[in-house]
Amino acid sequence: MDWDDLRIFLAVARTESLSAAGKRLKVDPATVGRRIARLEDSVQARLFTKSPQGYALTEAGARLIPHAETAERATLAAGESLTGPGGLTGLIRLGAPDGCANYLLPQVLARICDANPGLEVQIVALPRVFNLSKREADMAIAVSRPKAGRLTVQKLTDYRLHLAASRAYLQRSAPILSPDDLKSHRIVGYIPDLIFDKELDYLAEIGIGPAVLTSNSVSVQLNWLRHGAGIGVVHDFALPAAPGLTRILTDRIHLTRAFWLIRHEGDGRVERLNRFADQLTREVRAEMVQLEALVTASEQHA
């Protein structure tokens, strides 16, 4: 069985499209179709069924997936064994929720790339859970541990969240001395039916709301707060990027969450990804300590 055919098979299985697979592999879609047909002839089984929604795996195709992924990992490991233990090289795609992707990962990954000039990193920032089985990313950061799938999970770091508002908003609005005072203020938060993880349902846990200015994007919410639109829950690590905001009721309302690094179970044998995960974990933890210390220091000098 030809590895290159298996590589094309995996791309079609993950994208459910000949054209999308071809774009990912930089191969003409017609060639993708011919290679799939050749692979089906060699194994004497249909691997996909075509529908208006795309290409779906047959039962035989589903049985081939773990073997193809094993071959994929072996090929990657073989390449790494030849390049030796130098700096990280090649492309790694990392999926992350947009708050993490906007306010934590850029500086962390810039440092990792500075230390590994041959490394290329892509951040895919989406306000939803990533599908690693379709290789939307090589690894993903999530706000809760997955409960199913052939995955490995490790905690990256804890982080804290507080209510915050712009100083301009607080100066022109009614004083906030207790949680009850929040009832007279406009709340910024997530669109309720687009909350993709219960860990993000901050307002329900705090017991305030409903929010009247809502978005599925952390960045949009933060910018609303920066422009004095109201009060909302903010990641402490994002506050250094929004110096006009200040935390409120910190002794009464606070939340703690965690970021989890999620990987394919079999990728533990790919040394390059192991080394990247180790560097990412160290840098994220160091950056979190630094950013949260900046927030505390700025409040002490305010």
Output the DSSP codes for the chain.
--HHHHHHHHHHHHHS-HHHHHHHHT--HHHHHHHHHHHHHHHTS--EEEETTEEEE-HHHHHHHHHHHHHHHHHHHHHHHHH-SSS--EEEEEEE-HHHHHHTHHHHHHHHHHH-TTEEEEEEE-SS---GGGTS-SEEEESS--SSSSEEEEEEEEEEEEEEEEHHHHHHS----SGGGGGGS-EEE--GGG--SGGG-HHHHHT----SEE-S-HHHHHHHHHTT--EEEEEGGGGGG-TTEEEESTTT--EEEEEEEEEEGGGGG-HHHHHHHHHHHHHHHHHHHHHHHHHHHHHHT-
Q: Do domains 3-83 and 90-156+258-297 have the same CATH topology?
A: no
pTM of the model: 0.73
CB-CB contact of 17 with 50 (8 Å) = no
Asked if the 158-255 domain carries CATH number 3.40.50.10130, the reply is no
For residue 156, how many other CB atoms are within 10 A of its CB? Answer: 21
Per-residue pLDDT, 296: 87
Q: Which CATH architecture has domain 90-156+258-297?
A: 3-Layer(aba) Sandwich (3.40)
Domain limits of the chain?
Answer: 3-83, 90-156+258-297, 158-255
Residues ≥6 apart with Cβ < 8 Å to 241: 102, 103, 222
Per-residue pLDDT, 210: 93
Per-residue pLDDT, 58: 93
Per-residue pLDDT, 77: 62
Per-residue pLDDT, 217: 94
Asked if the 3-83 domain carries CATH number 3.40.50.1460, the reply is no
CB-CB contact of 263 with 133 (8 Å) = no
The CA-based diameter of the chain, rounded to the nearest angstrom, is 74
Per-residue pLDDT, 76: 64
Per-position pLDDT tens, the chain of length 302: 788 889 899 889 888 899 989 988 889 999 999 999 999 999 999 999 998 888 999 999 988 988 887 787 777 666 655 454 567 888 999 999 999 999 999 999 999 999 999 999 999 997 666 565 566 788 999 999 888 777 889 999 999 999 999 999 999 999 999 999 999 999 999 999 999 899 999 999 999 989 999 999 999 999 999 999 999 999 999 999 999 999 999 999 999 999 999 998 777 667 888 899 999 999 999 999 999 999 988 887 76
Round to whole Å and give the CA distance between 186 and 203. 13
